[in-house]
Amino acid sequence: MEIQEQIYNSYEILKETCKISWNDAELDRIEKAFLFSQKVIGESKFNTGEVILNHSLEVATIIAEEIGLGPDSIIAGLLHNIMYAGLEKKVTQADIEKEFDKPIFSILNGMAKINALGTDTVDLHSENYRKLLLAMAGDVRVIIIKIADRLQVLRNLEMYDAESQQRMISETAHLYAPLAHRLGLYTINSELLDLCLKFQKKEAYNYVVNRLKETETERANFVAEFVKPIEKKLQKKGFTFSMKARTKSISSIHNKMNKKNVSFDEVMDLFAIRIILESNPEDEKSDCWTAYSFVTEEYQTNPNRLRDWITIPKSNGYESLHTTVLGPQGKWVEIQIRTKRMDEIAEKGLAAHWKYKGGKANSGYDSWLANIRNILEHPELNVVDFIDQFSMDIYSDEIFVFTPKGDLKKLRQGATMLDFAYEIHSGLGDTCVGGKVNGKKVTLKYILKNGDHISIDTSNNQKPKLDWLDFLVTTKAKSRVKVSLNEDRKTQASQGREILVRKFKNWKMELNDDSIRKMLKHFDFKLAVDFYYDLAMRKIDPLDVKAIFVEKEEESAKVVVEDLLPIHETKDLTFEGGDDFLVIDNNIKNLNYKLAQCCNPVFGDRIFGFVTIKEGVKIHRKKCPNAPQMIERFPYRVIKSKWRDTTSKSSFLTTLYVSGIDETGIVSEISHIIAKDLGTQMRSINIESDKGKLEGRLQVLVYNLDHLEFLIQKMKKVKGVISVTRGEI
């Protein structure tokens, strides 16, 4: 058959199906989609040799005839291959939205996302993959169209190579068939599983098929004999009804044979007899139970096999009354009793919703249930209209991401890179410093997205921090961080206790329960562990603790330093005058103290030391602008200090401010004075002139205070200079 003839034959089948349900305007839209696809795809084929457009037409026909979705879904089925990578013509989002509309593109985009999803480990994480598909699809129609697409592929699976067949079978068995079941598409679910069995275990499939053919007449005769007395009772009571035998699917029979370890002839529920009543909505339950009473009056029932899904429907909306009775020839038969409305929902399942085991209802799920309930209570409502309006939002509170090995992990919406690290292992979270998402570097705070591929970077120096709790969202991660912080707090508190014991020993004081209670009361702590922690973190000064027990006396510089600093920071310091003064060398090689940058003392300045919390001793000028505040707020941290003169010379950084009149060459003259003085080095110079006035700031290195004064005097003699003053950086 010519390709064009094949395509038009498929299109005619689709048109005839659509004419049953849709008006002329909707049929015109469907034809427009067909012509657009034909223009883009032409006679192109897949690698398998299948005509692409024919595949699209068959998918659209499944959507229209076997599932019953609306025009938008049929159009999406026709268009779902127009962006296929192998086509010469390229179609953009703008092209699709111009010719059709945004909802159509949204469906196609959802399908593209699913097609791009790798499924290498689908057999290990099938439940999470199904949720990921739902989350990525967005619109429920995307999933249904993908199921139709997969059904068409499996019906033509012989076209594919062995490797592709196995991949398709694995995806179908773990993803598409379970989704079809949960959407209520039971007939399609059964066919998908049967086709999987056909290509995976051909001999087992053929055995069941042949046995069903062999016993077909026998089953028909049995059913005819079984239903006669029940038909009479229903007709006598005035019921309108139909009865039919439903043979179990091939895959279900095969699974039961394996699971129960029985032969084909020993499968009890090889088929079920279905009684379908035409009832008014208000009479449905009572009518079903009346029919049940007729069956049990005629045949012995197995009470353990009664399943009442009318009083309490299944979570996917399925309603039916099932029982098993002992029929003619001593054979057990399953009976299914339902109304026509219930049967339509069970067969096509368009209004079925799904709920995973252990899932919790949220507002989106409640909304879904309310709409379903409304449809079930009012059969006149158009189910297709409902689906066309509904955007699948049940799982918007979950995301699914991949580990480097391809394993799928589920986390809460808004989860970060750090949440993911803790999800893998608590030790990985404790040492996490960031990582890569889809090959790009990201921070701990990166918010994960569906389908992200993630790797974690760690460092042995990293440890949990309090601010992590501000951006973590998973309970597991938060709990672990709190545990780690508590462990760290206990360790620090233990060190704080050791510090206190050592200080009390140095002060020749006794540390007992009374003294601890006194300290806790003074610093307003309820627990000693909190007091010890603050002491270890240097939030409390040991001298403040000492002041509680002894009257304040002026202490030597050495005592103050030893009280406030660890031993290793004080051992190289030099003191003089009975330890009253800290001695500062003018070669400033001692790394245990630093010259303060706020005032830049130089050798010869009157100075004092200030014991900081984290930076050891800092040396300030007594004229430092910060000196009054330090002396007033922290008098116990201030220590007497003085310079020790040596033969070696070191340079001290200082700042000079120059003001004057902007005379010609004034800047050159100032620079020349500094350059000519061999002992002076200029670090920076910044001169600004405004309306004849000059303001400048210089940073220079000098030997000592005398050297600095000499330089200032020379600069003052420059023509145009009004003042030269020493300042701070």
Query: What Cα–Cα distance (Å) separates residue 213 from each residue in 204, 207, 250, 267, 327?
Result: 15, 10, 12, 16, 22
Residue 199, C-beta contacts closer than 8 angstroms, at least 6 positions apart: 154, 157, 165, 169
Counted domains in the chain: 6
CATH of the domain at 178: 1.10.3210.10
Percent of the residues in the chain that have a pLDDT greater than 70, as a whole number: 82
Side by side, the strands of the sheet bearing 681-690 are 681-690, 693-702, 652-661, 721-727
Nearest to 88 by CA among 44, 124, 34: 44
Return the CATH number at 721: 3.30.70.260
Q: Is residue 205 part of a domain?
A: no
In this predicted model, what pLDDT tens digit does every residue of 417-432 receive, in sequence order?
999 999 898 889 999 9
Nearest one of 461, 471, 466, 541 to 499, comparing CA atoms: 541
The 10s digit of each residue's pLDDT in 634-667 is 777 888 888 876 656 677 888 898 998 888 788 8
Mean pLDDT of 143-171: 90
- Convert 593-611 to b/e letters by CB count within 10 Å (16 or more is b): bebbeebbbbbbbebbbbb
**Domain of residue 51, residue span:** 3-185
Does residue 204 form part of some domain? no
**Residue 567 gets which letter from DSSP?**
G
Q: Contact at 8 Å (CB) between 241 and 287?
A: no
Distance CA 339, CA 320 (A): 8
Same domain, 466 and 489: no
Residue 233 lies in a domain: yes
Alpha-carbon gap, residue 693 to 103, rounded angstroms:
70
Same domain, 232 and 326: yes
638-644 and 581-585: which strand pairing?
A: parallel
Query: Is the separation of the CB atoms in 641 and 608 below 8 Å?
Result: yes
Residue 65, Ramachandran bin (φ over 0: left; ψ between -120 and 50: alpha; else beta): alpha
- pLDDT value, residue 395: 40
Q: What is the pLDDT of residue 729?
A: 46
Place of tokens 């096509």: 348
Query: Is the domain of 121 the same as that of 164?
Result: yes
Q: Find the range with the poorest average confidence among 374-388, 398-412, 623-637, 679-693.
A: 374-388
Q: Is the pLDDT of residue 231 over 90?
A: yes
Crossing angle of helices 71-79 and 102-115, rounded to 10° = 50
Residue found under tokens 């996917």: 316
467 with 491, same domain?
no
Phi then psi dihedrals of residue 613, to 5 deg: -80, -40
Euclidean distance between CA atoms 170 and 157, whole angstroms: 13
Residue 201 placed within a domain: no
Question: What's the pTM value of the predicted model, to 2 decimals?
Answer: 0.51
Q: 56: how many CB neighbours lie within 10 A of its CB? A: 28
357-369 burial, b for 16+ CB within 10 Å, e for fewer?
A: eeeeeeeebeebe
Q: Which long-range contacts (CB under 8 A, 24 or more apart) does 391-396 make?
A: 391/138, 391/139, 391/140, 392/134, 392/137, 392/138, 392/139, 392/140, 392/143, 393/364, 394/134, 394/353, 394/354, 394/362, 394/364, 394/365, 394/368, 395/131, 395/134, 395/135, 396/135, 396/364
How far is C-alpha 542 from the chain's CA centre? 47
Tell which wins on pLDDT, 207 or 400: 207
Q: Are residues 223 and 140 in the same domain?
A: no
Residues 125, 77 within the same domain: yes
Provide the pLDDT for residue 570: 61
Q: How confident is the model at residue 387 (pLDDT cuts 50, 70, 90)?
A: very low
Final residue of a structural domain among 287, 318, 348: 348
- Position 356 in a domain: no
Q: Which residues contact 215 (CB under 8 A, 6 or more apart)?
A: 270
Considering the domain architecture, whether residues 101 and 174 belong to the same structural domain is answered as yes
Residue 359 clears pLDDT 60, i.e. is over it: no
Residue 637 lies in a domain: yes
405 burial level (CB within 10 Å; 0-12, 13-18, 19+): exposed
Beta strand segments in 134-206, E: none
- pLDDT level of residue 36 (50, 70, 90 thresholds): very high
**The domain spanning residue 460 has which CATH number?**
3.10.20.30
Instruction: Please indicate whether residue 120 or residue 232 has the higher confidence score (pLDDT).
Output: 232
- The upper half-sphere exposure of residue 42, i.e. CA atoms within 13 Å in the direction of its Cβ, equals 7
User: 61, exposed or middle or buried, with CB in 10 Å at 0-12, 13-18, 19+?
Assistant: buried
- C-alpha–C-alpha distance, residues 471 and 416, integer Å: 8
Q: Quote the mean pLDDT of the chain.
A: 80
- 114 and 176 housed in the same domain: yes
Q: 348, 367, 383 — which closes off a domain?
A: 348
The whole-angstrom separation of Cα 714 and Cα 711 is: 5
- Supply the DSSP symbol for 249: P
How is residue 609 written in tokens?
């030391």
Among 473, 507, 524, residue at a domain's last position: 473
587 in the same domain as 545: no
Query: Is the pLDDT assigned to residue 447 strictly greater than 90?
Result: yes
CA dist 4 and 41 (Å) reads 12
The H-or-E segment that residue 705 falls in is helix 705-716
Is 181 contained in some domain? yes
For helices 24-41 and 3-19, angle between their N-to-C axes, nearest 10 degrees: 160
Report if residue 190 sits inside a domain: no
**Could you read off the pLDDT of 54-66 as tens digits, one per residue?**
999 999 999 888 8
Residues 494 and 620 in one domain: no
- Mean pLDDT, rounded, for 553-581: 65
Residues 597 and 658 in one domain: no
Residues 455 and 521 in one domain: no
